[in-house]
């Protein structure tokens, strides 16, 4: 009987121990960030990381020297993108969760497990934003040199199959957004926030070495309002 109870206890506690270890690893790695090169006085492009408390997006100027995102992600792909949009928000994530959980209350255990195991493809979620729209989440300042920005833009472009923006038909959360096919697959160790963090590291921005949660992406950035 005691052996049976011990086995049951292990079965019940193992997921909790795994979750605690996962969380602890993410928190500990915050103390060992991948050091980047601050833009400092060389900052030429002002961007942001936008968080809703769970998920992070890269927010980039719609148009800047060398890059016009409206040509790649045209407003026509959205239902009614604002004509005066100044920024574009770009996030990457699990295909099923993106398409079937417009609200976090819609998230199911089955979809969570499939996403954790990397069973689904990935999508980019792209929103056309006005400056005032950045107040709807928590914005963190991302001052970039031109070199930082070019590397970050290249990282985003690499997420598109053959560099082409292929919209998912009739997939929207609001009037100002669209979904696009993306390369890769999210899983427990490469979440939507990992994608954002990898982009920041590729650009040369100081960020944690592993960013599975939103706070692990933003911890080394300055909270700001545009």
Q: What is the pLDDT of residue 123?
A: 97
Mean pLDDT confidence for 100-111: 75
Nearest in space to 204 (alpha carbons), one of 161, 158, 167, 152: 152
Mean pLDDT confidence for 14-18: 73
Q: What is the pLDDT of residues 157-206, one digit of tens each?
A: 999 999 899 999 999 999 999 999 999 999 999 999 999 999 999 999 99
Confidence band, pLDDT 50/70/90 cuts, at residue 9: low
* Stronger pLDDT, 86 or 116, i.e. the higher one: 86
Q: What is the pLDDT of residue 3?
A: 63
Residue 120 DSSP class: S
Residue 34 DSSP class: B
Is-contact 142 47, C-beta < 8 A? yes
Q: Is the pLDDT of residue 217 over 90?
A: yes
As a whole number of angstroms, the distance between CA 47 and CA 108 comes to 33
Angle between helices 146-158 and 192-203 (to 10 degrees): 140
DSSP sequence for 174-217: STTEEEEEESS--BTTB-HHHHHHHHHHHHT--B-S---SHHHH
As a whole number of angstroms, the distance between CA 185 and CA 2 comes to 43
Mean pLDDT confidence for 120-139: 90
Q: Is the pLDDT of residue 32 over 80?
A: yes
Q: What is the pLDDT of residues 59-83, one digit of tens each?
A: 999 999 889 999 999 999 999 999 9
Q: Give me the chain's average pLDDT, please.
A: 89
Q: Is the pLDDT of residue 226 over 70?
A: no
Lookup result for tokens 């004509």: 83
Q: What is the pLDDT of residues 146-158, one digit of tens each?
A: 999 999 999 999 9
Q: Is the pLDDT of residue 5 over 70?
A: no
Q: What is the pLDDT of residue 110?
A: 76
């Amino acid at each position: 009987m005691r052996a049976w109870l011990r086995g049951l206890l292990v079965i019940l506690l193992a997921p909790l121990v795994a979750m605690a270890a996962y969380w602890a690893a993410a928190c500990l790695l915050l103390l060992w960030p991948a050091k980047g090169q601050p833009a400092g006085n060389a900052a030429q492009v002002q961007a942001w990381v936008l968080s809703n408390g769970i998920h992070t997006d890269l927010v980039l100027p719609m148009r800047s020297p060398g890059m016009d995102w409206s040509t790649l992600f045209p407003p026509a792909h959205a239902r009614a993108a604002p004509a005066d949009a100044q920024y574009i928000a770009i996030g990457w994530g699990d295909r099923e969760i993106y398409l079937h959980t417009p609200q976090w209350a819609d998230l199911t255990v089955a979809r969570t497990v499939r996403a954790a195991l990397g069973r689904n493809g990935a999508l980019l979620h792209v929103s056309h934003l006005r400056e005032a729209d950045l107040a709807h989440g928590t914005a963190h300042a991302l001052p970039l040199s031109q070199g930082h920005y070019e590397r970050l833009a290249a990282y985003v472009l690499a997420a598109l199959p053959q560099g082409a923006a292929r919209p998912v038909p009739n997939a929207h959360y609001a009037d100002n957004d669209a979904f696009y096919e993306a390369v890769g697959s999210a899983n427990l160790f490469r979440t939507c926030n990992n994608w954002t963090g990898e982009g920041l590291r590729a650009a040369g921005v100081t960020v944690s070495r592993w960013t599975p949660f939103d706070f692990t992406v933003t911890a080394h950035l300055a909270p700001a309002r545009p």
